Structure 1
């Protein structure tokens, strides 16, 4: 007797494939954003602060 739980389910397979694609895309966007933010953070930390122009007194 065959086990019905081991039978292939095309609907479940398509659903999991779509979910995997969505999660992969989301992960890619999150990693790109995190990399951009870390580069921005290090750039701000390693550059000297901007000098302010003094206002002339009248």
Structure 2
């Protein structure tokens, strides 16, 4: 008598293939988003460093003195 647990199941194979394809696409999207966010953070940090060392300091609108 053959073992039923060792037989191939085409439905399970198709389901796992679809799940693997979906997870691969989601992983690709997450990796791309993380890389874009890291690039933006590096650009902002570089801008802040240049602004600091060039003496370009700005006060936010709430800290500016206004005439009353």
TM-score band by shorter chain is: 0.7 to 0.9
Please provide the CA RMSD for this pair: 1.4
TM-score scaled by length of structure 1 = 0.80
TM-score scaled by length of structure 2 = 0.69
Aligned residue-pair number: 52
In 2, the alpha carbon distance for the partners of 1:12 and 1:46 equals 51
Structure ranking higher on relative contact order (CA contacts 8 Å, 6+ apart): 2
Runs of 4+ in 1 over 4 A off after TM superposition: none
Which runs of no fewer than 5 residues in structure 2 stay unpaired? 59-68
